[in-house]
Amino acid sequence: MKGIMIQGTASDVGKSLIVTAMCRILANEGVRVTPFKSQNMSNNSYVTRDGKEIGRAQGIQAEAARVEPSVWMNPILLKPRSDQHAEIVYLGKALETLSGRGYRDHFYEQGLAVIQQSLHHLAEEFDVVVIEGAGSPVEINLKDRELVNMKVAELADVPVVLVADIDRGGVFASIVGTLDLLESNERQRVVGVIINKFRGDITLFEDGVQWLEEKTGVPVLGILPYVENHMIDGEDSLSIRTQFSKRTNGVLDIAVIHLPFISNYSDLEPFLYEEDVTLRWVHNKSEFGQPDAIIIPGTKSTSNDMIHLRENQLDILIQNHIANGGYVVGICGGYQILGEEMMDKEGTDTGIPNPKVKGLGIIPATTTFYKEKETNQVIAMYHHATGLRSNHPLEGYEIHLGKTIFSKEVCPFLTLANGLEDGYFGHGGQIIGTYLHHLFHNDEWRNQWLNMIRKKKGLPSEQIRSISEYKDKRYDLIAAEMKSHLKWDLIKQIINQWGSKG
């Protein structure tokens, strides 16, 4: 197998972005390249064309590589359900929920087997595999049964590049310390170091490069600049918070209710491209303010998050906002929260069988949770009763537990390609609920909805902005930027020579 693995001295050093850039660089050079991450922990997922669930980052990296995302790119996805438990998504399907201890004790051999199977499948289909690690490869308390770093490099037999974040400080100690803590056979796989998130005059770091190379015997393969607003989907809500916190002057104020178990927050990222929008997180009633619109996002535990809203009196503020004519969109769990009641017969939402939780009572509907999760890619049109018109179908995906049933006749929001109806459309679009994730990634719909709000505020309408075109350009721009700061010919030489051994 030809490939390379990007590991980090810590979490959030920029591994995902570097893998994304490398996938696009290689794709632009005509290489059949694929991303791979053996095990991902994130509630921000991506649904493949065949209705399977993988980590969002691997879906984005596949887009950058110009290939169809598949479960082989991320065979194990852990979706946290609490501080100690996570749902195991195995080859795209929910398997079971285990504690951290239970996962380590009972899943390790099964995990190793599916990682080997995935690597074999990718090696047959692609020329190069760009592998992403997780956290640090020298977490001593976890190292004996890890499935994400050096064990994967060993299974794939690929060289490793270590990435360190200079922006957080301590870059020399983090690199030297990580290398010193590796076993000798692991240390031999490390063929280079990348310094990431560098700010300022790079010539001031020349002595640092020389010292690192002399001290470790490992070449520095690049010093990458800090990329502001790179617009590439993040694995967690921190990346969205960071990017939106820098924009506070948008005339449209959209409040996103920050749920404790929030998931699939990539639904919000299209608003980064709307210059007149300020999107802000609301954690408690003091942050609520007077928004023009509210978005209630997806969640891994609808019932518990509804209880959280009530305990923090956010339920009353949302209800008052709607009563005063404010706009609201509930997506997936947020749609369920807008209903009258949630019933968890199987205990799949709360972990306790048969609880009932009252919702906001905005939509006349009851949601019942079942064991089986719906995961589908979706193509839809506006329901004819909405009066909305579209030149293009809406695309997105469903990934939810539960079925929502109305207690009286209402106007659905969408008609799906299979003929079924989805969601709720009330008061001319003031109130919308839907199971369709990535609703706002549809440029025409996002523009139409924002123009409704602009009109209410007496503002002129804006033209449609194409996210897909802009994102593809961003992939190329970031790839070009990264390549200009990497010793790219040397990296390719390492990949080819290592992959030709034996």
The catalytic residues are 332, 437
Amino acid at 469: E
What angle, 0 to 180 degrees and rounded to 10, lies between the N-to-C axes of helices 15-28 and 56-65?
A: 20
> Which residues touch 465 (CB under 8 Å, ≥6 apart)?
273, 274, 443, 447
Between strands 341-344 and 356-358, the pairing is antiparallel
Instruction: State the amino acid at position 305 in one-letter form.
Output: D
How far is 489 from 85, CA to CA, in rounded Å? 44
Q: Which residues is 36 bridged to in the sheet? A: 131
Strand partners, 373: 401
* Closest C-alpha to 337, from 316, 360, 356: 360
Q: Tokens 């930027």 identify what position?
A: 481
Containing 469, the helix (H) or strand (E) segment is helix 467-485
Give CA 486 to chain center in angstroms.
Answer: 26
DSSP state of 283: -
Q: Which tokens hold the place of 464?
A: 């449609």
Q: Is 14 left (phi over 0), alpha (psi -120 to 50) or beta?
A: left
Task: Pick the closest to residue 465 from 231, 225, 165, 233 (CA basis).
Answer: 231
Q: What are phi and psi of 184, to 5 degrees?
A: -60, -40
For residue 53, list its beta bridge partners: 47
